[in-house]
Amino acid sequence: NAGVTQTPKFQVLKTGQSMTLQCAQDMNHNSMYWYRQDPGMGLRLIYYSASEGTTDKGEVPNGYNVSRLNKREFSLRLESAAPSQTSVYFCASSGSSWGERLYNEQFFGPGTRLTVL
């Protein structure tokens, strides 16, 4: 199993350009998440999808949109990139269940390092 995969690994954009970050998981997880990580700020939740067909805003959603394409894939779109969106972006997934217990551990991808000039 590959776990959580993200593409691309690195990206440089100019202000105003758009791009989509891709994420896929092969663990049959229900929930998926997008975070950004900035020095001194920790991991901050941008958007999440509790289950296929649903998405909700996290702590820092402005400037981003998401699509839960199917159970495996969750994409993050920057419509008009700004220098403040320079960051490392992580996708994560969680929500395996055994019997009656739902395990909430989140498993992370390797990240996308985005620079906006």
Partner 1 sequence: EDQVTQSPEALRLQEGESSSLNCSYTVSGLRGLFWYRQDPGKGPEFLFTLYSAGEEKEKERLKATLTKKESFLHITAPKPEDSATYLCAVLMTGTASKLTFGTGTRLQVTL
Where on the chain is the footprint of partner 1 (CB under 8 A)? 4, 31, 33, 40-45, 48, 50, 56, 58, 90, 92, 94-95, 103-111
Smallest distance from partner 1 to CB 20, Å: 19
**Separation CA 79–CA 30 (nearest Å):** 26
**Cis before 110 (ω within 30):** no
Ramachandran angles phi, psi of 99, nearest 5°: 65, -125
Smallest distance from partner 1 to CB 80, Å: 26
Query: Judged by CB, which is closer to partner 1: 38, or 79?
Result: 38
Distances (CA, A) of 100 to 8, 86, 93, 97: 37, 41, 19, 7
Smallest distance from partner 1 to CB 82, Å: 23
Smallest distance from partner 1 to CB 111, Å: 5
> Per the structure block, which two tokens stand in for 80?
């008009």
Query: Judged by CB, which is closer to partner 1: 78, or 109?
Result: 109
